[in-house]
Structure 1
Amino acid sequence: MGQALSCGAADEHGLFAAVQRGDSDAVAAALLKDSSLIRRTTVYHRHSLLHIAAANGQIEMLSILLERCVNVDVLNRYKQTPLMLAAMHGKLSCLDKLIEAGANILMFEGVNGRTCLHYAAYYGHSDCLLALLAAAQTSSVSSSWGFPRFVNVRDRKGATPLHLAARQRRARCVHILLDSGGLVCASTHGYGYGYGYRLSNSTPLHMAAKGGCLDCVRELLAWGADRRQQDASGRIPYAIALRHRNGACAALLNPSSSEPLVWPSPLKFMTELNQEAKALLEKALMEANREREKAIFKKTSYSMPSPSPSDDNMSEWFLTSQANDADLCCICFDQTCTIEVGGCGHRMCAQCTLAVCCHNKPKPASYPEPVCPFCRRTIVRIAVAEPRNSWNSFSEGSSNSSFKGLSAATAASFRRMPSGGSDDIIDIEK
Structure 2
Amino acid sequence: MGNSMVACSGHGERLVTAAREGDVAEVQKLLQINPGLARYSTFGLLNSPLHLASARGHHEVVALLLENGADANSRNIYGQTPLMQACRDGNWQVVQRLLVYRSNVDKVEGLGNKTALHFAAAGGHVRCIRLLVSDFGSATSTGISISSKKEATDTKHNSELCNFINKPAGGGVTALHMAAMNGHYECVHLLADLNANISAQTLPYASSPMGSIGAGSTPLHFAASGGNAKCCQILIDRGASRLARNCNRWLPLDVATIWGCHWLEQILSPHSVLMVPRFPPSGYLCLPLSSVLDIARECGMQSNSSCEDIDNADNDVCPVCLYRSCDVAAEGCEHELCIRCAFNLCSTMRSNDSLAPPGTMPCPLCRASIQAFRKLPSLQPKKPDLNPCLSSGSDKPLVACRTEYRRNSSSVVPSEAVTSVPCTSISSSAVVS
2:254 aligned partner, one-letter code: A
Query: How far apart in 2 are the matches of 1:177 and 1:108?
Result: 19
Larger radius of gyration: 1
Alignment of 1:267-346 (within 5 A): none
1:192 to 194, 197, 208: 208
Query: How far apart in 2 are the matches of 1:218 and 1:69?
Result: 46
Confirm or deny that 1:249 pairs with 2:264.
yes
SS for the counterpart of 2:172 is coil
Aligned-residue sequence identity (percent) comes to 29
2:259 aligned partner, one-letter code: H
- Distance verdict in 2 for CA 1:11–1:169, change over 3 Å: farther
Query: How far apart in 2 are the matches of 1:44 and 1:229?
Result: 46
Match of 2:251 in 1: 236
Match of 1:135 in 2: 135
1:192 aligned partner, one-letter code: S
Whether contact under 8 Å (1:158, 1:191) holds in the other structure is no
Match of 2:120 in 1: 120
Q: Deviations over 1:19-58 (max 9, x none)?
A: 1222222222223334443233464421111111111111
Q: Deviations over 1:160-206 (max 9, x none)?
A: 11110001110110011111111111111035243x54722100000
Match of 2:339 in 1: none
Whether contact under 8 Å (1:137, 1:147) holds in the other structure is no
Output the aligned Cα RMSD: 3.2
Query: How far apart in 2 are the matches of 1:193 and 1:12?
Result: 38
Alignment of 1:369-408 (within 5 A): none
Q: Deviations over 1:349-378 (max 9, x none)?
A: xxxxxxxxxxxxxxxxxxxxxxxxxxxxxx
Match of 1:87 in 2: 87
Aligned length: 262
- Distance verdict in 2 for CA 1:47–1:11, change over 3 Å: farther
- Further displaced range: 125-134 or 201-210: 125-134
1:25 aligned partner, one-letter code: A
Alignment of 1:344-363 (within 5 A): none
2:202 aligned partner, one-letter code: T
Whether contact under 8 Å (1:191, 1:202) holds in the other structure is no
TM-score (norm 1): 0.55
Query: How far apart in 1 are the matches of 2:238 and 2:275?
Result: 10
Whether contact under 8 Å (1:223, 1:262) holds in the other structure is no
1:213 to 200, 222, 228: 228
Match of 1:202 in 2: 217
Q: Point out where structure 2 has 5 or more consecutive residues left out of the alignment.
A: 1-9, 140-152, 287-353, 356-433
Query: How far apart in 1 are the matches of 2:66 and 2:12?
Result: 23
- Distance verdict in 2 for CA 1:16–1:264, change over 3 Å: closer
Query: How far apart in 2 are the matches of 1:218 and 1:209?
Result: 11
Match of 1:407 in 2: none
2:53 aligned partner, one-letter code: A
Q: Point out where structure 1 has 5 or more consecutive residues left out of the alignment.
A: 1-9, 276-337, 340-430
Query: How far apart in 2 are the matches of 1:109 and 1:41?
Result: 16
Greater RCO, CA 8 A, separation 6+: 2
1:112 aligned partner, one-letter code: G
Whether contact under 8 Å (2:180, 2:220) holds in the other structure is yes
Query: How far apart in 2 are the matches of 1:152 and 1:259?
Result: 30
Match of 1:21 in 2: 21
Match of 1:148 in 2: 162
Query: How far apart in 1 are the matches of 2:42 and 2:91?
Result: 21
